[in-house]
Amino acid sequence: MRIDPDQLPAPRSRRDPDHAHSTGLVAAGLRHAYGPLTVLDLDTFTIAPGDRHAVIGPNGAGKSTLLNVLAGTIRAQTGQLTYNGHTVTRWRPAWRARAGIGRTFQHPAVWPDLTCLDCVRVGGWHHRRNPDHTPIQVLNLVGLADQADQPASTLSHGHRRMLDLAVAIAGQPRILLLDEPAAGLTDTDTGRLLDILHGLPSWMAVVIIEHHMDVVAAFADWITVLHQGRRHTDGPAHLVRADPAVAALYLGTGGGDAAHP
Ligand SMILES: Nc1ncnc2c1ncn2[C@@H]1O[C@H](COP(=O)(O)OP(=O)(O)OP(=O)(O)O)[C@@H](O)[C@H]1O
């Protein structure tokens, strides 16, 4: 089901003149299977500059698979990805990151033996000549400036998640993909996460996979609901959140019929 956005006023544009040449990411015909199990089967998925987009769905719906396909960690068996007019379907994750597709991981992936500051330096290595923010400023943004010289391995789970986010932000991505950024965070850290997300530059598109609906509600303009690898619903966030079929999907009371008529 697709909610008609024409019911609403036009979404606020987040385009920045400096990034007007960015046309975002367009995925078409993505399909991925493990043996007989198709875990992703999406006709289209689009990320426009400045999007604030949440991908939700029950466990096993294919959300991380989608994010991994967009970031290049998994190569979909069929489909095409176009980013700013370039076909990037076969690009490695590092090439995509350098081109502006950044990400965090469901299980924070930081370099345990490096200090927090060095992790952020690595994250921003391709912007050394003209950084928007110094590494310490990025650490400050996520509340870790006091831990700058500490090895990443000594951080708590919540702080490792923040460091993972800082590493991604240091790369100044045009598209930032966040896999369950609030998982395991305290309420205080979740509040900080939302402050950080709200403070990201308007030209940066942000896509989150998230189970915490309060985070989705506070962050997203647009929601895509996946179920069994397919699009169940997508549309403006407040309409999707109010959609009884989406609630039914989470409660297991028949939403599956909407995805697989
Ligand atoms: N390497 C793998 N081999 C086989 N099956 C896999 C593999 N990785 C994922 N899957 C299966 O693919 C399906 C989609 O997984 P995925 O992690 O994308 O779902 P998800 O929506 O992110 O779930 P969750 O919310 O629990 O993280 C699940 O059924 C999962 O068990």
Q: Which two tokens stand for residue 169?
A: 């932000």
Q: In angstroms, what is the span from residue 57 Cα to ligand 1's centroid?
A: 12
Residue 76, phi then psi, degrees to nearest 5 = -60, 150
Q: What kind of fold does domain 5-100+217-259 have according to CATH?
A: Rossmann fold (3.40.50)
pLDDT tens column, 20-79? 456 799 999 999 999 999 999 999 999 999 999 999 999 999 999 999 999 999 999 999
Distance CA 234, CA 117 (A): 39
Going by alpha carbons, the residue nearest to atom 16 of ligand 1 is 62
Q: In angstroms, what is the span from residue 209 Cα to ligand 1's centroid?
A: 13
Distance CA 76, CA 230 (A): 14
Q: In angstroms, what is the span from residue 59 Cα to ligand 1's centroid?
A: 8
In sequence order, the β-bridge partners of residue 103 are 177
Q: What residues does ligand 1 touch, defined as CB less than 6 Å away?
A: 34, 39, 57, 59-65
* Domain residue ranges of the chain, discontinuous segments joined by +: 5-100+217-259
What pTM was computed for the model? 0.86
Mutate to test the pocket of ligand 1, among 32, 37, 39 (most ligand atoms within 8 A of CB): 39
pLDDT tens column, 193-250? 999 999 999 989 999 999 899 999 999 999 999 999 999 999 999 999 999 999 888 7
ipTM, two decimals, is 0.96
Going by alpha carbons, the residue nearest to atom 4 of ligand 1 is 34
3-state helix/strand/coil string of 54-98: EEECCCCCCHHHHHHHHHCCCCCCEEEEEECCEECCCCCHHHHHH
Tokens 């199990």, residue located: 37
The ligand 1 atom nearest the CA atom of 61: 21
Q: In angstroms, what is the span from residue 66 Cα to ligand 1's centroid?
A: 10
Tokens 């932000």, residue located: 169
pLDDT at res. 107: 79
Going by alpha carbons, the residue nearest to atom 29 of ligand 1 is 60
Q: In angstroms, what is the span from residue 62 Cα to ligand 1's centroid?
A: 6
